[in-house]
Structure 1
Amino acid sequence: MDERRRLAKEVELAATPDQVWQAIATPEGMSLWFVPHEHSGAEIEADFGGGNTQAGQVLEREPGRRVVYGAPGPDGEAPTEIEFLVEGRESGSPDRPASTVLRLVQSGFFDGDDWAAEYDGFGKGWDVFLHNLAEYFRHFAGLPVTNVVATGFTDLPGEAVWAELTALLGAEPALGERVRLTPTGLEPVAGVVDLRERLLLGIRTEHGFYRFLVDDLHHMVSTTQYFYGVAVDRASRTAAWQAWIDRLTRR
């Protein structure tokens, strides 16, 4: 395999190694910052919204330190593998608490003319999710999560979909800006912009995160939402946002 197809990420987290281990080694923990995860027999199933799920298994596990997840590749190819490695870091100063470094390595990218775009897309996606994890420990540590995920697909160009999405949200704010989004037919979203890139908008609210993304490569538009420590009707809220996404992708 070309060494460039081994994607590596690292993030320092304001948490103990045990807290980080729980966040990457259990379905409940993965749901805190990634997408909803549940046990499905011997497998763990991830829900990416709109009926799109992916199942995988734990291939290797060193409790408290390392876990490797994997899913079979197409036509007998090598599996896609995602390795998480947890490493505690001692404080170098009485004024600075100890932290934990989380390392992630993904391998098994499929061959094809667009593998480089796939590689870059996964890299940007992990940047978002690892940012979620860091922000969770910074603002909501210890609180349980309710996830809302909605996904749709469209043949329209990404920029056109993004323009329509931000119009329906009622704003296209800059990073760090305080904003009140008014998504058509849904309750307002008030908070601060903590993620902002091309075709990506993230809002941190009093109780969690809202993420909006248009994926040009997969012709996909999605919202991933996290509500911490508050009562949320996941089913009805998911249905409402899925209907919102569906209206957007049918335009």
Structure 2
Amino acid sequence: MDERRRLAKEIELAATPEQVWQTIATPEGMSVWFVPHEHAGEEIEADFGGGNSQAGQVLEREPGRRVVYGAPGPDGEPPMTLEFLVEGKEGGTTVLRLVQSGFFGGDDWEAEYDGFGKGWDVFLNNLAEYFRHFPGLPVANVVATGFTERPGEAVWADLIARLGADPVLGERVRLTPEGLEPIEGVVDLRGESLLGIRTEHGLYRFMADDLHHMVSTTQYFYGVEVDRESRSAAWQSWLDRITGH
């Protein structure tokens, strides 16, 4: 039988509670560190790239302190919810807590749970980097996602080869993806099937997920004009060459 499980994350941010609240309680704010969010009628739609989107709504809201998102299922109850809690600390920092609750069924629920945890670590790191290096600037997002039956290790090795470098954390690097502008910056995230670059104007994240046979890039450009549609299409085409589509 499925059981309700909770995944909790916490991060201390160099920002005021008011600033943090804006990044978790509005579509524009969520776009700053997560994926592009937009109003879709009464709902909020998140764009994960490659034609993949997910819609939800605000289920509970305590302005300045707490907000809960979810999408009601067939029985009226949301199968999964996201709760954000904001708490100011002495010295001007703020603690943000995230609690994901939902049903994880099947034999691979532990892998699913672990995958969500790693994903939230990346996105919360994005939020910390935003407040550290780009506070207050608006964002333009570029996202692309591809799916493949190729082994995850092969997909990741192909991606790294096509970027033209396999850097380590803290290294200054120049990536040269074919057909796209070079990426110059500092490696601020590095892990198994994970690479993050901070540039002068934003963040690039590359990830592969073997469990879901997926590879993706999420990119954030702060305070600069970006043609989101053409860039997203170009990066989608680049990923499609890796996935074989």
TM-score scaled to structure 1, two decimals? 0.94
- Structure 2 residue matching 1:56: 3-state secondary structure: strand
Aligned to 2:58: 58
Q: 1:105: Cα distance to partner? A: 0.3
| 8 Å contact kept, 1:8–1:104 | yes
Please give the residue correspondences for 1:11-160 in structure 2 after superposition, counting only pairs within 5 Å. Answer: 11-73=11-73, 78-91=78-91, 98-160=92-154
Residues 201-230 of structure 1: CA deviation (Å, up to 9, x unaligned): 000000000000000111000000000001
- Tell me the distance in 1 between the aligned counterparts of 2:95 and 2:48: 26
Structure 1 residue 73, shift from structure 2 partner: 4.6
CA RMSD for the aligned pairs?
1.4
Counterpart residue number, 1:168:
162
> Residue 229 of structure 2: which of 225, 229, 235 is its match?
235
Contact 2:139 2:221 in 1 (8 A): yes
Q: Residue 94 of structure 1 corresponds to which residue in structure 2?
A: none
When residues 220 and 74 of structure 1 are mapped into structure 2, their CA distance, relative to the original with a 3 A threshold, is farther
Q: Which residue of 1 aligns with 2:8?
A: 8
* Distance in 1, Cα, partners of 2:71 & 2:178: 38
Displacement of 1:109: 3.0
d(CA) in 2 for partners of 1:77, 1:145:
33
What TM-score do you get using the length of structure 2 for normalisation? 0.96
Counterparts of 2:78 and 2:86 in 1: how far apart (Å)? 25
CA distance in 1, matches of 2:106, 2:30: 30
Q: Structure 1 residues 78 and 42 mapped into 2: Cα distance closer, same or farther (>3 Å)?
A: closer
Structure 2 alignment gaps of length 5 or more: none
Q: CA deviation at 1:102?
A: 0.2
Q: How many residues align?
A: 244
**Residue 71 of structure 1: how far off its partner (Å):** 2.1
Q: Deviations over 1:97-145 (max 9, x none)?
A: x100000000013311111111000000000000000000000000000
Query: Does residue 192 of the first structure (1) align with residue 186 of the second (2)?
Result: yes
Q: 1:143-167 CA deviation, whole Å, 9 max, x = no partner?
A: 0000000000000011000000000
Taking only the aligned residue pairs, the percentage that are identical comes to 81
Q: Deviations over 1:217-245 (max 9, x none)?
A: 11000000000001111111111001001
The residue identity in structure 2 corresponding to 1:203 is I
- Matched residue, 1:95: none
Task: State the 1:248 CA deviation.
Answer: 1.0
SS in 1 for 2:174: strand
Give the Cα–Cα distance (whole angstroms) in 2 for the partners of residues 68 and 77 of structure 1.
13
Q: 1:169 to 1:25 in 2, by over 3 A?
A: same
Q: CA contact under 8 A between 1:208 and 1:227: conserved in structure 2?
A: yes
Match of 1:212 among 203, 206, 216: 206
Does structure 2 retain, via aligned residues, the 8 Å contact 1:109–1:119? Answer: no
SS at match of 1:54: strand
Tell me how far apart the structure 1 counterparts of residues 56 and 167 of structure 2 sit (CA, whole Å).
37
SS in 2 for 1:48: strand
Q: Secondary structure at the match of 1:210?
A: strand
